[in-house]
Amino acid sequence: MNAKSWSQFWGTDTTYACDKHKQIVEDQTLKQQLSFVSQNDVVLDFGCGESPKETLAEAVSELFLFGDAQEISKRLFSKYKGKKNINVIYGLDTSTSFSIIFVCSVIQYLSKEEFTERLKYFRSVMKPGGRLIISDVIPKNISGLKELLTLLFVAAKNNFLKDAILNLFRMMKGEYGSLRKSHNLTKYDEDEIFALLQEAGFSPEIHSNIGLNKDRYCVVSSIK
């Protein structure tokens, strides 16, 4: 299938170079997510991907997963059907309110208009005192070359450099490369994303990034 959107791409492909790369990213993301939650939290992991969610679910009251890509949602539903406090939702469900909403490595694949609409949804389902945690925000002054060098540094440090180089060629020649040319990635300077969040009714603060790329950043927002 030729992906015509990022959601179609994520339903059928990946950017991970190898299993080790995938495991490192998943472990780091989980560790940082756990630092934000408590046992009483009702959590939405928006654009959650397919990393294991059992540990996160054990740390909260209820966990809701939204995969965005239809294929991912189907696989998540099959995997977690019958699990006590893991719920897979289709579409933007407004029947539940959340104390924590994670949006990890998602908004760079949304247009500014799509992101603005998602913010309205997040605000509508946020509990008083809740937090919206948006990570992997790419600043406009970060070049593609610097992002590439960061990836290669991580790969060399963790002994999957050869896999990373081969994967870069695979992605650039495949659907990922085509989508980067037609859609690119959406980047935000701090003042720009702050303005969007404030307009949607949030009070944002900068936080260290969730994930391996420390040139990107995280924004933690509460309701005004």
What residues have CB less than 8 Å from 153, skipping those under 6 apart? none
Contact 40, 63 (CB under 8 A): no
| pLDDT at position 134 | 98
- In whole angstroms, give the CA distance from residue 75 to residue 89: 12
DSSP state of 138: P
Reported as a single tens digit per residue, the pLDDT across 126-165 is: 999 999 999 999 999 988 888 889 899 999 999 999 999 9
Q: What is the largest CA-CA distance in the chain?
A: 48
CATH class of 6-223: alpha beta
- In whole angstroms, give the CA distance from residue 171 to residue 176: 5
Q: Is the pLDDT score of 69 beyond 80?
A: no
Which residue's structure tokens are 């490369």? 177
Torsional sign, CA 122, 108, 2, 50 = negative
Strand, helix or coil at 62?
strand
Reported as a single tens digit per residue, the pLDDT across 27-42 is: 999 999 999 999 999 9
Q: Is the pLDDT score of 207 beyond 70?
A: yes
Instruction: Round the average pLDDT of the chain to a whole number and report it.
Output: 91
Percentage of the residues of the chain whose pLDDT score is greater than 90? 67
pTM exceeds 0.85: yes
What average pLDDT does this structure show over 55-67? 95
Show the tokens assigned to 72.
């991912």
Q: Is the pLDDT score of 3 beyond 70?
A: no
